[in-house]
Structure 1
Amino acid sequence: ENEPFQSFSDVGSSVVPQIEHNGFETIDVNFDGYLDFRLLAQTTAGPNTLYRNWLWSEEEMHFVESAPLDAIVSPEFDADTQEIVSRWRSSAAEGGIDIYIWEEGKPVLIHRETDRYSGEGQCTRLFYDRIGGRLEQTGEGACS
């Protein structure tokens, strides 16, 4: 047994009581080989899920909050590609997928696909890629 080396208060999590331990989990979110942790920040009626994240800092020897990662909805972490995938919905007529990589300790959006539905049942997929440090539209097509 060890004494606690770090404590947290007011973690900003407001989830329904039925979710055990507020969705707490340990996971290497930044692919550095150290376990980080996160918990659900809130539950919503829609598909977007927000988390509060703390990353292990080898330099500081404690967990550090990550506001940029907290802003990514429904993040999934792919250790093989070293990418964060976010599947999101902004309305009944628009949703998409964002892909992030870690640069200088922060997640950076490198690719986005947005599906937009019209009132006639048509769907257009817009593609965006990071070019010169900015997200630029790189294509458009029908949703598959």
Structure 2
Amino acid sequence: MRLPGAFRAWIAEFWGYRPMPPSAARYLLWLDCGAAALAGTAVLLLGSWLSELYRVAHELLMFVGVVNLLYACYSFSLAVRDKRPRSLLYGLVGGNALWAVICMAMALRLSNSASLFAQAYLMGEALFVGALAMCEWRWRELILVRI
């Protein structure tokens, strides 16, 4: 059975067999810094309420919020550059991958005490940040130069 052409093309692009269009690659760093800023700000502003909802320590949520905001600043500093140093981009990808692992570890560590909402948030963040790391690595050559 042969798949329709458009579906085959979508699968090929998703799995990296074709390069990402430069017009889409230029927004990847903005998506990264915007999502981190939004998550960090929300966690810091709603920390007390989330602490009760998630059944986790308020200090842990403050840590997560601050890390997200620091990361947003770092990715923003790359997004606004015309030429992005390879080493800084690799640091961004490594940071995303590391944060994904940390979020999964926190979700597993807190599985007996935290609420389902906390588990969903941590696993969702791990999946999102891990996907960003994968995309940024796959399309690193397009990201290195601002288009």
TM-score bracket for the superposition, by shorter chain length: under 0.3
- Structure with the bigger percentage of strand: 1
> Taking structure 2 as the reference length, what is the TM-score of the superposition?
0.21
Higher RCO (Cα < 8 Å, 6 or more apart): 2
